[in-house]
Amino acid sequence: MHSFRYVQNQLQCEDVRLSDLVKKFGTPLYVYSEATLTDHFTKLDQALAPLDRLICFAMKSNSNLAVIRTLAGLGSGFDTVSAGEIQRVIAAGGDPRKCVFAGVGKTEEEIAYALDQEIYSFNVESEAELKRISRVAVKRRKIAPVAVRVNPNVDAGTHAKITTGTYENKFGIAFEDIEGVYARAARLPNLRLRGLQMHIGSQLTDVKPFRLAVEKVAPLVARLNARYGFDFFSIGGGLGIVYNPALDSGDAGWWKTPAARRILTPERYAETLKPLLQPLGLRILLEPGRFLTGNAGLLVTRVEYIKKTGRKNFVIVDAAMNDLIRPAFYDSYHQIVPLERRRGATIASDVVGPICESGDYFAKDRPLARVGEGDYLALLSAGAYGSVMGSNYNSRPLAAEVLVRGKKASLVRRRQAISDIWANETIAPWQ
């Protein structure tokens, strides 16, 4: 479910027409629905009751301060992968004591900062990292809470670039080596062995990989808990969303159709995993990102040109791969709809941006309503891995971002000024 729908043929976010936002803030423009963020968090949290649980939002999916503030207000913790993300949590009013710190390349400075903020736990990716955390903790005279990330060697069945739980990936420690790693970690000073963590991949739409991973790892957790006295078991994130048809999935009626039966819902996810997790008697941590934010946001873009060749109909828009890189990076699908609903025949179109790269596209040979210069399109399901992966390639400014609550809309990230792009650059003194 989400809060983007046509009302009298005008696409709205909650009770706000997107066309009105375009008039006020221009394009490219990211728009987020606070109601959708709240709904997704609440549904997942309630589905997991009565487990002792902590949802740690994966900030890598969307690190806008307003998004963080919304989720923090709901009681969310945060899955962070840098000192910068921890600082963002604090800046947004979130609690660093509800933060886990993941990532394979933590620096000594980042570890020290995280210790000073009293984070909930480090998700540790290697023995070398355990030793580094121990050294830093001794220097800071602090006790570092840690959870080693186990690689269960379970294929998530998702895109190769977002699979994280097999031995071909850079993440975690092999399942067979974990008990030895914990035994050695127990001898290191200033470490608290607080739990175990895993994460097998992103955009999973089938519950089977989750079940297989938990079935494999849960007995290991029980053995380690008996030895070291754990507080939690983190099962990671990865819950997928509806990319096609994204717009239809905002309608409660669509979820009763046969097409919806293949979609993994929080309820089915929880029903499968709770019987495996409850006997452990531990707090369960989850690290969802895309599930919370993906369909809570979209990207609005303006049609600049229509270019017809002998073989193609190109719809050239003002957004580009620097604004939303997923199609270029992953060949990912984003449903594209006009802000004003059009009836009649469609035309197979390539929707492309202005960047001088053949990979700068959002759709290829996509049936699309006939549009012309000055019309506006919405790229749906852009709330995760959208703006947060933006860049200044081609010296293009980062897009503006707006948060909607009911009839209210607020600019939560101003459009970057072109001069801001080189604000930190200087000319060498000999030039």
For residue 165, the domain's CATH number is 3.20.20.10
Angle among Cα 57, 191, 121 to the nearest 5 degrees reads 5
pTM of the model: 0.94
Question: Would you write out the chain's pLDDT as a tens digit for each of its 431 residues?
Answer: 899 999 999 999 999 999 999 999 999 999 999 999 999 999 999 999 999 999 999 999 999 999 999 999 999 999 999 999 999 999 999 999 999 999 999 999 999 999 999 999 999 999 999 999 999 999 999 999 999 999 988 865 544 444 444 445 667 899 999 999 999 999 999 999 999 999 988 899 889 999 999 999 999 999 999 999 999 999 999 999 999 999 999 998 999 898 888 889 999 999 999 999 999 999 999 999 999 999 999 999 999 999 999 889 999 999 999 999 999 999 999 999 999 998 888 999 999 999 999 999 999 999 999 999 999 999 999 999 999 999 999 999 999 999 999 999 999 999 999 999 999 999 999 99
In a domain, 428, yes or no: no
395: which residues sit within 8 A by CB, 6+ positions away?
418, 421, 422
Choose one of 262, 291, 320: the last residue of a domain: 291
- 187 and 223 together in one domain: yes
Judged by DSSP in three states, 127 sits in helix
- 247 and 312 together in one domain: no
- The strand pairing partners of 147, in sequence order, are 123, 195
Query: Which domain covers residue 413, as residue numbers?
Result: 295-421
- The strand pairing partners of 124, in sequence order, are 148
- 126 and 241 together in one domain: yes
- 263 and 340 together in one domain: no
Known catalytic membership, residue 99? no
In a domain, 1, yes or no: no
Three-state SS for 374-419 is: CCEEEECCCCCCCHHHCCCHHHCCCCEEEEEECCEEEEEECCCCHH
- 207 and 318 together in one domain: no
pLDDT in the model for residue 158? 47
- 324 and 401 together in one domain: yes
Q: Walk across the sheet containing 16-17 and list its strands.
A: 4-7, 10-13, 16-17
Residue 366: CB atoms within 10 Å: 19
Cα distance between residue 290 and residue 60, in whole Å: 9
- 171 and 300 together in one domain: no
Handedness of CA 171, 176, 180, 182 (dihedral sign): positive
Q: How many domains does the chain have?
A: 2
| Helix pair 178-185, 127-140: axis angle to 10 deg | 20
Does residue 245 have a cis peptide bond before it, meaning omega lies within 30 degrees of 0?
yes
pLDDT in the model for residue 39? 97
- 284 and 202 together in one domain: yes
pLDDT in the model for residue 165? 41
In a domain, 361, yes or no: yes
In a domain, 21, yes or no: no
Tell me which DSSP letter residue 201 carries: B
- 278 and 302 together in one domain: no
- 307 and 244 together in one domain: no
In a domain, 55, yes or no: yes
Cα distance between residue 217 and residue 230, in whole Å: 14
Going by C-alpha positions, the residue among 266, 356, 224, 321 that lies closest to residue 40 is 266
pLDDT in the model for residue 172? 87
Catalytic residue among 13, 56, 99, 356: 356
Cα distance between residue 216 and residue 208, in whole Å: 12
In a domain, 39, yes or no: yes
Element (H, E) at 196: strand 191-197
Choose one of 240, 258, 291: the last residue of a domain: 291
In a domain, 29, yes or no: no
pLDDT in the model for residue 27? 98
Choose one of 274, 291, 308: the last residue of a domain: 291
- 162 and 282 together in one domain: yes
Cα distance between residue 403 and residue 70, in whole Å: 10
pLDDT in the model for residue 117? 98
Antiparallel, parallel or unpaired: β 191-197 and 173-174: unpaired
Cα distance between residue 41 and residue 237, in whole Å: 13
- 176 and 301 together in one domain: no
pLDDT in the model for residue 161? 44
In a domain, 379, yes or no: yes
- CATH, residue 379: 2.40.37.10
